[in-house]
Structure 1
Amino acid sequence: MCAETPDYKETLNLPKTDFPMRAGLPKREPAWLERWEQIGVYDRLREKEGRTPFTLHDGPPYANGHLHIGHALNKTIKDMIVRSHQMMGHDARYVPGWDCHGLPIEWKIEEQYRKKGKDKDAIDIVEFRQECRKFAEGWIDIQREEFKRLGITGNWPDPYITMDYHAEAVIAEEFMKFLMNGTLYQGSKPVMWSPIEKTALAEAEVEYHDKESFTIWVKFKVAEPADHKLAGAYVVIWTTTPWTIPSNKAVVFGQDIAYGLYEVTGTPEESWAKVGDRFVLADNLAGDVMTRARLDETMWKRVGDVPTSDLEGVGLAHPLNGADGSEGEWDDLRDFRAAPFVTDTEGTGFVHCAPSHGMEEFELYRDLGMLEQMITYNVMDDGGFRADLPFFGGTYILSRKGGEGNANKTIIDKLVEVGGLLARGKIKHSYPHSWRSKAPIIYRNTPQWFASVDREVGDGQDALGTTIRERALNAIDQEVKWWPQTGRNRLYSMIEARPDWVLSRQRAWGVPLTCFVRKGKLPTDPDFLLRDPAVNARISEAFEAEGADCWYVDGAKERFLGDGHNPDEWEQVFDVLDVWFDSGSTHAFVLRDREDGSEDGIADVYMEGTDQHRGWFHSSLLQSCGTNGRAPYRNVVTHGFTLDEKGNKMSKSLGNTIVPEEVVKQYGADILRLWVAQTDYTADQRIGPEILKGVADSYRRLRNTMRFMLGSLSEFTEADRVDVEDMPELERWVLHRLAELDHQVRKGYAEFNFQGVFSAIFNFATVELSAFYFDIRKDALYCDGDTLRRRSARTVLDILFHRLTTWLAPVLVFTMEEVWLERFPGDDSSVHLVDFPDTPADWLNEPLAAKWAGVRDVRRVVTAALEIQRTDKVIGASLEAAPVVHVRDADVVEALKSVNFADICITSTIDVNNDPMPAEAFRLPEIEGVGVVFERAEGEKCQRCWKILPDVGQHAHEGVCGRCNEALG
């Protein structure tokens, strides 16, 4: 060998690519967004013919603020659904939408008015509504750009907006279907009411937080009959809402509860009880009540049983009965009877009833036909007591900011004054709050408009049932698939137990309840509501042309009633629809009415957070069952909530919020999208700086895989392609794995399992490709000449490239575009314009897979043995080794000898035999029958491929092995 061996580096087929290691996503992603818009990717996909439509209907976000991390999660999952189904051969349409009506926007305008010293009530309502519209428009534009920055595809130039004139017309039409089919009625019952917002709330607008409440034990004296053995004794009730005591109309007991009569025999100074007082209490709770009254067990005694038969027919006196200045407000005896909802698990065993403020009490007395005498109207819409209510008029349940008002304390003080209180305290409990104002709510009896869920729907669409509830429950099981299945259970139980739907709100910004009621008639009268198709048609036509504002202009009543009805006989309703009715109706003006909607008006997918089981999933189902007799969706996909790294709810006050915009600025949108793909979105998921660092590391590993393929495919042409049957076994094994993965990826995407899809692809790319196949084939790719082995490897790399880039394109929309354009540049080129490639079924080869599973097991033992030598610095690289591998199974030995096992183990040579295993042989406990004895490779180091072989230096080219000599020509 010559002293100076030639430098063969230039003769190697080293990877060639301009694809950078550093992604620089934050700076580069906007250019790809611009490019997609310029070449019209979304529109060009719509032009593809002969494809099955697939529609994901967008649950509309509310147009009143910047995006939070929940928005980013939600829209990214939707985008992955749409993109993956498009690439699986569908025409996957996505029309983004916005919810625009409702209280939050109205509040913002009121806030602006207050700052300017304006009085909302003095402003023309149409002018006020125009201000609300303008506010929503501004936020739609902001949110649209924020969503687009996340790489979300869709019909952004033409979204659906609930305040568009056509949308408002359809919402009114859908409401009028309830008017015409007999399910609409006006009723007076307790509804969840926000005193701060002065409106009724739906269940979906309520969230539960801990609240500290006053709790009181109140005495109702047994007043009639005068000669009753309990006369003069007190029935004690317990409540956490002292403000309901002025509205008390009854006390109820439990038919199966054991009651006793208890007498006070002694009292401390601080107790409100008096010696000789007798109290009727549930036996299970008597001790606790006496303790609350500050009486120890020496100060009271049980003096007799009180069977429930003794309670029937008794009249109770309200504790404020006869109080000076009460003006007879509470002088009527309170009703006293058994009720099924009374228990003896807490309280006293008796329940005080204010049917105006409790649904169970309301329903009890409604069913008894006694509502008229039981309903009070003491509490006004702002949570204040009516001005003429003795003692308490002008007090408020809540302060104007939503905190504790002065009503509870005033009532408690009055009860103390008149001797009506036995004990008081405070309790911390879960209490309903408005999710908008975060203030507590109350139950308040008000006239509202309802859609009955149990009345027969008179529309003849009875395939799933004759009532809205029946249809909804049957649709849940017969028409819809649930991802995950727990979503079905949650919604089913909610629909099963829900009351009638409260449709009305006492606000200004929304679609009005487009109906008229006859003056002087009761809601129960058959002709109370005007049901005239001609009137409905005039309303619909006007809304289509002018929007819902036309309902409020002077002369609207006369215009809509027309010549057929006397305006003096009818009242126009000015309540607005619950915004959940707006969003619940979107299927009608998006899926049914738009060209890019759904051919049958049903969405393939609705996808939202778990809170939408009581929100959009719920209202859409009820609304569609009421107007179409069926569900508006075929699949419902649900995601959980996003928490911080410690599992805490995000909050500005805690400083643990993750803002999508900041993540995009630091890492790029693809990292945020990758976080979504890596998480189990069906449960609550976590995000934070450390988690994002881990996501970024996964991204780098994947990017390196793609970079290796790009470099190795430089100048690959069709002339280099090799037929599968001519390929070496290793390549055919890779294709087998690809065929398996193709099935897994398509199934995962079809089932919305992005975590499963990404995990499978990532493990394949980093473990089976980078750490196995690529590692093995680097030698052939770099050092072989124009050999079948190298051409086969490059053919497989090309096949891998097309599948990995397209499979990952729904997740890493920017990076896979970058990878694609690096190889296929061009003005119209885009990975998002192609489908997942079809994978031939004959690539699957189970016998080959079984064989290579054995080969890889033996390889694991060899690489583990060599790693010890490397760690001990005996060798620096595996090519310095020529291990001897002892394998007990003769069939495995034969398999190893048939596949050039030295290349597989990346050693210069290897000896595989069936000889008995020496005691010093290295073994892995989990792989039986394989032992490895380390030996050094013999010969010289090839200056081109670095293998140590005996024939190096014996060829025409200096210092190389026979393979390299042939490659050099």
Structure 2
Amino acid sequence: MNDTATSGAETDYSATLFLPETEFPMRAGLPAREPDWLKRWEDMDIYARQRAAGKGKPLFTLHDGPPYANGNIHIGHALNKILKDLVSRSKTMLGYNSAYVPGWDCHGLPIEWKVEEQYRAKGKNKDDVEINEFRNECRSFAQYWVDTQREEFKRLGVVGDWSHPYLTMSFDAEAQIARELMKVAASGQLYRGSKPVMWSVVERTALAEAEIEYQDYESDAIWVKFPIHSANGAFGTGSFEDFGSSYVVIWTTTPWTIPANRAISFSSKISYGLYEVTGAPEGNWASKGEKYVLADKLAEETLGKAKVESFVRLHDVDCSKIVSCNHPLRGLGGGYEFEVPLLDGEHVTDDAGTGFVHTAPSHGLDDFEIWMASGRKLTERGIDTSIPFAVDDAGFYTAAAPGFEGARVIDDTGKKGDANNRVIAALAERNTMLARGRLKHQYPHSWRSKKPIIYRNTPQWFVYMDRPYAAEKIATLKLSSDHPDRVQIKPGDTVRSIALTAIENTKFYPQAGQNRLRSMIADRPDWVLSRQRAWGVPIAVFYNEQTDTILVDEMVNQRIGAAFDEEGADAWFKPGAKERFLGQAVPDPDNWSKVDDILDVWFESGTTHSWVLSNPQKWPDMQFPAGMYLEGSDQHRGWFHSSLLESSATNGYAPYASVLTHGFTLDGEGKKMSKSLGNTTAPQDVIKQFGADILRLWVAQSDYSDDLRIGKEIINSTVDNYRKLRNTIRWLIGNLAHRKAEETVDYRDMPELEQLILSKLKDLDGLVRDAYESYDYKRIVAALSNFMNIDLSAFYFDIRKDALYCDPISSVRRRASLTVLDHVFDALTAWLAPILVFTMEEAWLERHPGADSSVHLREFPKLPEEWTDSKLDEKWEAIREVRKVVTGALEIARREKVIGASLEAAPKVYITDDKLAAAVRGTDMAEISITSDIEIVEGEGPADAFRLDDVRGVAVVFAKAEGQRCARSWRILPEVGTDAEYPDLSLRDAQAMRELKAAGR
């Protein structure tokens, strides 16, 4: 049956057909229509309606990781927020009360920078502005971008509590962040220490690991000779003097750290030898007769770098018996006359360098750790174990680097200063240079300024990773907690041990995320909490430097918390704040300092569980711990990480039950997006041209566990897939315009074909539910696309067009088909609603209009178990195999213009396969194949019959249909002309006309 009427002298029966009727447009017009749906949802307060409908249902909380309020959203933001919306919406439709509270990270350096830029443009100096005035400008800047991003996120179709988001800069949030810090302090896990931290000279602040990215960088590499000062038996039976002038050689890519050198590290697991230069160019730094202690594995390479022409290995060396060396800068300004001891370190390898590690405890964490671990033994030897502060916050050498004061490591633009060259020149003058070169490698940079950082020793505030909790300290946590029953820390636990146990109890999507987070927690140093900035929550504690004591006083803490609740963290910086908060808590207030360092923003966002998930007055449908945290893969070192540490330190377990990780967005060729390359895809541009549903479909059909590509071709492919899905929905709506509820056919009374479709629908029900529960959205899109495009459009719709358009009103077949279409429509619009939020709302309202109607107030329909029929599925798979061969034969006839349409054919089908023959027996294969007639022969067909290689046992011989063409259905049948009243129609169509006439149509 064709959808168009006949022409010529034949009667036009087109008005008597049940053709699809719908105002649901073929062209979606999403960019223009989507804002209307957003307005409708806002007017009806769809989020509140969902919460009301969710009362009494199991809670599922997806806690929103806060984006930074600093600029328009990019495609990565869109990916993240759409994924979160998929989770929240699907959980709601699975029968959970799944609230979603969006949030923003509002403090920190990037906002400070922007405000400082505005100051500079106006000729103002930040240092001349009162701190709270500056903080207020930062607050206004952040609020502007919160409001901007909120509208951009809503435009993506994300539903949530947009009227009541959480902001880290809101007064109640700042108060709770401070209270969480106070808990850590009271538990004994907060301490003030001096150790090397990653430091941004450009930004003048300490940085956390989460704020670091690694970029290609070219470093100066040097090999330095440390003259051996004392060696008791290091060279076996020969005395040290027997071997003359000997050196331990180190290799470093940070020449500027040599003035801070205090030791050399070696490994007792490495084989070392004493090597003598027997040939070298005149004037070479490595001269004939000099002897070097080197790792055997690295000796040849090292001497090659030193341009040594020939050498000989003299002896094994026991480095544990090399007591000390002289500093290579000895004699410069009298500041380097101390001994340089050798220390056995686990971190030393012979993979590169010389087998020795230059150890500057103020500029490297491994260096610091081995120096501190060796402190007692060094002190017993009379060695000064103090750690020099050789470089200041601006990257200049201090007086602790004699001979170099005023030289600079890195300048304000992130470029190398003159420190390296000054040090190299000084080493060369003292004949302690062996070689130099350059090395291109991955070097840490600030992910904000994109400039290289340094390690420098500064006083900072830390959280212990490995200090065991004491029972009395755990009690303070319970006393300060709103939920003391939640504190599950036991005496002897450490923050690290708690966090590692929590990781084992957390479910990860994908599973690889567990290993990644575990390795980061297992290897990380103590958590650096302090930042030397202005915009954020202060480390709101008082510190006594004389006694190295943090004040833990409940009344003081209450006063601070209450003030922050009323005035925000600005209260800490107001005149008289120290006296206001201390009150009469201590007898010697002059000995107590108010700490003005700012908290690491990762600690801030890491505390959000404590004031978003546990605030029933403000957000009643949230729960702690959250069901899920969902962010990009970089958050294993960011929000996943800091939230886990903060909750471990204050509660004793993770703030989440599961963690879902997505990849980064790349261009269509798999390259990193860059404005300079012009290969970025802005979500605003995609929405403007195609609509947000296209972005949502791209997210849902992609493998988010890996990096996602997006570009012109990928968008166009997504648009094509969307168009097919939309046309299927449109066809359903158009045909359902003729459905009447009272004409519903019971499943048991339906033809097999209808039962087959319902069986497939029931199978899909299980797949879709399972995929939504496991967050496998690509499986849903693939399964539904396959079902809609192949099972429905190319098979079921194609077959049933004739019955739906032409069958009599009384036809059970037609009514059964309409019943099936209704079930299919209900299921598909629900299953696709979390993905195509706008399109499914439009489709649903086309069939179920009303001010209170919305597809997003539904749950996934519960489909009857009786629809499952695996035997029926198996039988019809066989029928479809036979149909495929028939279709192939007809396609050849059509291509050769023997026929114009399949209804002109009446092929003869030969079947030798018993299973296929049994399947088609009793089946109207002419209806299934959309031919006017068909003959099935159980036997072998002629040699020249049409066959398909992948369907064995079926052969088709083409034949034209005999008889006249029905003027209404276009089927060619011998019976046309036998009905006296309608001589130009088949008997079925004649009966349809009589019923229509009787019904007054």
Fold equivalence (TM over 0.5): yes
The code of the aligned residue for 1:785 comes to P
Are 1:56 and 2:56 counterparts? no
Asked whether the 8 Å contact 2:488–2:653 carries over to 1, the reply is no
> What is the rounded CA distance, in whole Å, between the counterparts of 2:690 and 2:7 in structure 1?
53
Looking at structure 1, the residues matched to 58 and 258 of structure 2 have their Cα atoms a distance apart, in angstroms, of 62
Q: Runs ≥4 in structure 1, deviation > 6 angstroms?
A: none
Aligned-residue CA RMSD in angstroms?
Answer: 1.9
2:312 maps to amino acid = R
- Aligned with 2:280 (options 249, 262, 267): 267
How far does residue 758 in structure 1 lie from its aligned partner after superposition?
1.1
Verify the 8 A CA contact 2:736 2:818 in the aligned structure 1. Answer: yes
Counterpart position of 1:968: 993
Question: Matched residue of 2:97: which SS?
Answer: strand
Match of 1:9 among 1, 14, 18: 14
Residue identity in the other structure for 1:76: I
User: Which position in structure 1 is the counterpart of 2:248?
Assistant: 235
Q: Which moved more, 1:347-356 or 1:369-378?
A: 369-378
- Tell me, what secondary structure is at the counterpart of 2:73? coil
Distance 1:138 1:631 in 2: 33
Change beyond 3 A, Cα 1:953–1:430: same
Pairing 1:648-663 to 2, within 5 Å after superposition: 648-663=671-686
Q: What is the TM-score of this pair, normalised by structure 2? A: 0.93
1:68 alignment partner in structure 2: 74
Deviations 1:880-901 (A, max 9, x none): 1111112224564343232311
> Is residue 308 of structure 1 aligned with residue 318 of structure 2?
yes
Paired position in structure 2 for 1:427: 439
- Per the alignment, residue 295 of structure 1 pairs with 308
Partner of 1:404: 416
Q: Is the 8 A contact 1:52 1:90 kept in 2?
A: yes
Q: Matched residues in 2 for 1:772 and 1:162: separation?
A: 55
Task: Report the Cα offset of residue 627 of structure 1.
Answer: 1.0
3-state SS of 2:146 partner: helix
1:863 and 2:887 aligned: yes
Per the TM alignment, residue 807 of structure 1 is displaced from its structure 2 partner at its CA by 0.7
- Contact 1:249-1:374 at 8 Å conserved across structures: no
| DSSP 3-state at the match of 2:304 | helix
1:720 aligned residue (743, 748, 765): 743
Contact 2:390 2:400 (8 Å CA) reproduced: no
SS in 2 for 1:424: strand
Does structure 1 conserve the Cα–Cα contact (< 8 Å) formed by 2:940 and 2:955?
A: no
Question: Are residue 793 (structure 1) and residue 798 (structure 2) matched?
Answer: no
Counterpart secondary structure, 1:422: strand
Give the 3 Å change call, closer, same or farther, for CA 868–452 of structure 1 in structure 2.
same
Question: What CA distance in whole angstroms lies between the structure 2 residues aligned with 1:779 and 1:347?
Answer: 80
Task: Give 2:524's aligned amino acid.
Answer: R
Which stretch shows the higher mean deviation, 719-728 or 205-214?
A: 719-728
1:827 to 2:884 alignment: no
1:694 Cα deviation after fit:
0.4
Percent of residue pairs bearing the same amino acid type: 54
Distance 2:940 2:295 in 1: 85
Aligned twin of 2:480: none
- TM-score, reference length from structure 1: 0.96
> Is the 2:99–2:622 contact (alpha carbons within 8 Å) kept by the matching residues of 1?
no
1:598 deviates by 5.3
**2:426 is aligned with 1:414:** yes
Match of 2:502 in 1: 475
- What secondary structure does 2:629 align onto? strand
Q: Note if contact 2:278-2:288 (Cα within 8 Å) is conserved in structure 1.
A: yes
Deviation string for 1:641-675 (max 9, x for gaps)? 11111111111111111111011111111111111
TM superposition shift of 1:466: 2.0
What is aligned with 2:593?
Answer: 571
Q: Amino acid of the residue matched to residue 987 of structure 2?
A: G
Moved more, 920-929 or 624-633: 920-929
1:671 aligns with 2:697: no
| Aligned counterparts of 1:132 and 1:535: Cα–Cα separation in 2 | 28
**Residue 726 of structure 1: CA displacement?**
1.0
The residue type paired with residue 568 of structure 1 is D
Deviation at 1:562, TM superposition (A): 1.3
Q: What's the CA shift string for 1:722-766, capped at 9, x where partnerless?
A: 111111110111000000001111111111111111111111011
Listed as ranges, the matches of 1:218-229 within 5 Å are 218-224=224-230, 228-229=241-242
Q: Distance in 1 between matches of 2:972 and 2:283?
A: 99
What residue number does 2:154 align with? 148
2:452 paired residue number: 440
**What residue identity is the alignment partner of 2:645?**
L
1:783-816 per-position Cα deviation (integer Å, ceiling 9, x unaligned): 1121111111111111111111111111011111
* Residue 519 to residue 469, structure 1, CA distance change in 2 (3 Å): closer
Write out per-residue CA displacement over residues 570-605 of structure 1, whole angstroms, 9 at most, x where no aligned residue: 111111111111111001110011443556421111
| 1:47 equivalent in structure 2 | 52
Does the residue aligned with 2:60 lie in a helix, a strand or coil? strand
Letter in 2 for 1:285: L
Question: 1:470-509 alignment to 2 at 5 Å?
Answer: 470-478=497-505, 480-509=506-535
**Contact kept? 2:216, 2:440, Cα under 8 Å:** yes
- 1:808-858 CA-partner distances (Å, limit 9, x unpaired): 111011111111122222222221122211111111111211211111111
Moved more, 833-842 or 341-350: 341-350
Q: What amino acid is the match of 1:495?
A: I
Shifted more, 765-774 versus 848-857: the winner is 848-857
Conserved in 2, the CA contact under 8 Å of 1:224 and 1:231? no
1:53 is paired with a residue of what secondary structure? coil
Counterpart among 698, 719, 734 of residue 757 in structure 2: 734
SS at match of 2:297: coil
CA contact (8 A) 2:97 2:621 kept: no
Name the residue aligned to 1:167. Answer: 173
User: How far apart, CA to CA, are the structure 2 residues paired with 1:295 and 1:190?
Assistant: 36
**Counterparts of 2:461 and 2:813, CA distance in 1:** 77
Output the amino acid matched with 2:541. Answer: C
Any stretches of 5+ residues in structure 2 without a counterpart?
A: 1-5, 232-238, 476-486, 995-1001
C-alpha deviation, 1:121, in angstroms:
1.8
Residue 952 of structure 1 pairs with residue 957 of structure 2: no
Please tell me whether residue 38 in structure 1 is matched to residue 55 in structure 2.
no
Per the TM alignment, residue 463 of structure 1 is displaced from its structure 2 partner at its CA by 6.4
Which residue pairs with 2:559 in the alignment?
A: 538
* Aligned match for 2:140, one of 98, 122, 134: 134
The whole-number CA distance in structure 2 between the counterparts of 1:206 and 1:28 is 43
Tell me how far 1:388 sits from its aligned partner.
7.0
| Cα contact 2:275–2:315 (8 A) shared by 1 | no
Is 2:961 the partner of 1:937? yes
Secondary structure, aligned partner of 2:659: strand
- Matches of 2:680 and 2:770 in 1, distance apart? 34
Give the number of aligned pairs: 956
For the 8 Å contact 1:222–1:230, the answer to whether it is kept is no
Encode CA deviations 1:412-441: one digit per residue, 9 max, x unaligned: 222223322111110000111111111111
The residue aligned with 1:632 is 655
Give the aligned partner of residue 329 of structure 2: 320
2:184 aligned residue: 178
User: Whole-Å Cα distance in 1 between the matches of residues 750 and 42 of structure 2?
Assistant: 42
Q: What is the SS of the residue equivalent to 2:245? A: coil
Deviations 1:322-361 (A, max 9, x none): 13xx1x1111121123322222221112211101111112
* Compared CA separation, residues 168 and 361, structure 1 to 2 (3 A): same
